[in-house]
Structure 1
Amino acid sequence: MAVAHGCILASIPTTRITKMPHAILNKEYKMKAPYKLNQGQSRIFHELPSGLNMEVIYQKGLRHEKRDKLWNPPPLVFVHGSFHAAWCWAEHWLPFFSQNGFDSYALSLLGQGESDAPEGSVAGTLQTHAADIADFIKKQTKLSPVLIGHSFGGLIVQYYIANEYSDLAGAVLVCSVPPTGNSGLVWRYLFSKPVAAFKVTMSLAAKAFQTSLPLCKETFFSKKMDDNLVLRYQELMTESSRMPLFDLRKLNASLPVASTGNPSTRVLVMGAADDFIVDAKGLEETASFYGVKPECVEGVAHDMMLDSSWEKGAQLILSWIKGLDGKDFA
């Protein structure tokens, strides 16, 4: 196999992926419905110390002569949550941030997407997932990156911050599970929204979102989301997670992630007004933990990076990153 950026390239050239018969793809890819990359994207594999390979979808930032003389954008590293993989960032946000000059890397955690699966019944722990991300950042990024995590991926990012694996230019928590885990969310739903609690349990714990299009849409997307798109993402989500991201019982016993947030890392806490999973109190809890004001994006649901108004969240992150050093360049 060839090597690129210190990573192993997929055995099939990226440019040929969309042209090959589905039967052949099944022999080469772990997902029965592999994600077809957008123009300018590469699928590479980072070899971890364990010898397992982690899928990375990479898109190089487009350089702007005037802007780049004044500012060297930090690389962006994206971490997905449960039932997702690197593809969820590659659909809209990687092209968006590439256009704005950012080298962008979307990771598939072990046991998810096209990444290798570890031994055992679950993909890992907060510690092992954070260590895998740290290994990638140490070996593959030249500048301190902005680490961006969604849902349970946001909890992994919080653990990363608390344990100071490496310097970050900043961290973004997108519809993140709070530092204390999801137990508070579950209990609030049980007492205040029992019907919603039942739907969330059926959708996620029983994985009913995989077979019910209406439930998948209600769980992850806005009402105005096109059903054909939801169906496509439903298939990708179903194929993405070959094993649970965590053992949730052990996970909750190890929380909160830290007694206090790490003051050396700038953090953006953002949520979605129409989030069916993480409620407003959950968003406020996370923001309070880091001593920041929560940003709630209107008109989007839990999967704001895939939702019909995905650009709202992307624009908010872009503005925040540009403000990290007090600069704002077009």
Structure 2
Amino acid sequence: MPFGPFILQWRTPSPNPPKSTDLPSGITRTYVQTPSGPLELLSAVPFSLKDKPPLFFAHGGFGCASVWLSYMTYFSSRGYPCYALSYRGHGGSWYSSFWQMYFTSRHAIGEDLVAGIAAVEKLEQERRKAAEKVKVVLISHSAGGALSQYVLSKGMCTVQGFCLFAGVPAFGSWSCYTFWLLSAPINFYYRFFHSRYLLATTKQVHDAFFTTDTPTPVVKELERLLSPYESMCWPMQGLQPFVTGPDVVSRITGWRSRDGDKSHGPAGITPRFLVLAAEHDVLCTPPVMEDAAKRYRAAFHHCVRVGKLDGVSEHDARVEDDKDGELRDGVAYAIVKGLGHHLQNHVDWERGAEVVLRWAERL
């Protein structure tokens, strides 16, 4: 693709933020005002006020809030208040110039994520007439997973549940980019100057984000939502490890022991951390995600031993998995069969949603 630079967008979108697109019934758009600019926030709030935690969906690189529309409709119809944010330079949020975005740091984008979470906490507090802000359940995809681990590890926010949804692990992410290893040397100069060069065509988007049998119109629908350019600092700052494990786990609240029953599973600890993999993901592959789950399980039990998780004792946490004897309580791991990296945008997106729902019902 020698003429790639000429088909990619280098100019700031106009108007800025871009003109709003139509949304499905039941989903509304508002904006979170920040010192830098307005951020798009999509909401799907059930009419009935049920005792279900609010779900906050965080997109990955080149994504936006709209990649979660199917999940928002699915979960809100089951009583869950749903919210999804577009960071700066994505979706309907404000855009910086090409080079300003290129050098935007992970911390700056993390501040956008935290601003969105804070806004939702306030909205849910007012909606429920609660005395305190209501913590969200954070569901983060791809590079948004790495971003979420960063803000949690830095103590920038606290959540009542965290799903690493085919998300880039924070223990070093080199392995998530091996899919592009062979083409990277050929496209090095283009990649250096434009962050979207390896996702410039429908085929490239298809190969990286979907299974081989995914219909082209489905791929094009996601391609339409992708941002024209991206921060290069954001992924580069995650290549090396930047969390210890306990620093993330300790920012999740609500851990508690439970008695065994049919609705909540065996006796033990409520699993407030879910690591979710897609069977055919070529970026955050199942082995990569399973390794992350093992590391976070170890971190969970470390936090229990040193008393960082209120209401949980070592005795509560000593529940072993029958299959291989590994301690699995507190951190759940699951593989969604038949899907690729963008689980939420596949034809059979319900497969992943059903796994997340079963987990959310236990919180």
TM-score normalized by the length of structure 2:
0.69
Q: Which of 54, 57, 72 is residue 78 of structure 1 equivalent to?
A: 57
Q: Distance in 1 between matches of 2:213 and 2:47?
A: 32
2:151 matched to which residue of 1?
160
Q: CA deviation at 1:162?
A: 1.5
Residue number in structure 1 paired with 2:92: 114
1:231-270 equivalences under 5 Å are 231-237=220-226, 240-244=227-231, 246-252=233-239, 255-258=241-244, 260-264=246-250, 265=252, 266-270=272-276
The answer to whether residue 216 in structure 2 is matched with residue 227 in structure 1 is: yes
Contact kept in structure 1, 2:55 and 2:82, CA below 8 Å? yes
Q: 1:87 aligns with which of 66, 77, 81?
A: 66
Equivalent position of 2:26 in the other structure: 40
CA pair 251-310 structure 1, distance change in 2 beyond 3 A? same
Q: How does 1:7-86 map to 2 (within 5 A)?
A: 28=15, 30-31=17-18, 35-48=21-34, 50-63=35-48, 68=50, 72-86=51-65
Give the partner amino acid of 2:144: G
Deviation at 1:241, TM superposition (A): 4.0
SS of the aligned residue for 1:262 comes to: helix
The AA in structure 1 aligned to 2:79 is: G
Shift of 1:178: 1.3
**Match 1:173 to one of 164, 170, 175:** 164
* Distance in 1 between residues matched to 2:16 and 2:214, nearest whole Å: 29
Matched-pair contact (CA < 8 Å) for 1:73–1:101 = yes
Aligned to 2:141: 150
- Give the Å deviation of 1:123: 6.8
SS in 1 for 2:289: helix
For structure 2, the residue ranges without an aligned partner over 5 or more in a row are: 1-12, 126-133, 253-271, 298-330
1:323 and 1:94 mapped to 2: Cα distance? Answer: 19
Question: What is the number of residues matched between the two proteins?
Answer: 279
Query: How far apart are residue 51 of structure 1 and its match?
Result: 4.2
**Shift in alpha-carbon separation, 1:256–1:100, aligned structure 2, 3 A:** same
Mapped partners of 1:41, 1:200: distance in 2:
39
Map 1:129-208 to 2 at 5 A.
129-141=109-121, 142=125, 143-186=134-177, 189=178, 197-198=181-182, 207-208=197-198
CA contact (8 A) 2:145 2:167 kept: yes
CA distance in 2, matches of 1:223, 1:31: 32
Task: Show CA shifts across 1:207-231 (max 9, x none).
Answer: 24322x2332121112232211212
Asked if 2 retains the 8 angstrom alpha-carbon contact of 1:224 and 1:308, the reply is: no
Q: Which has the larger radius of gyration?
A: 2
Contact 1:86–1:106 (CA<8 Å) still a contact in 2? yes
Summarize the Cα distance change of 1:215–1:121 in structure 2 as closer, same or farther, 3 Å threshold: closer
Secondary structure in 1 aligned to 2:23? Answer: coil
What TM-score do you get using the length of structure 1 for normalisation?
0.75
Q: CA RMSD in A?
A: 2.7
SS at match of 2:118: helix
CA contact (8 A) 1:181 1:256 kept: yes
Q: Is there any run of 5+ residues in structure 1 with no aligned partner, and where?
A: 1-25, 325-330
Distance apart, 1:146 and its partner CA: 0.4
**Does 2:216 correspond to 1:210?**
no
In the TM superposition, residue 38 of structure 1 has moved relative to its aligned partner by: 0.8
- Match for 1:256: what amino acid? F
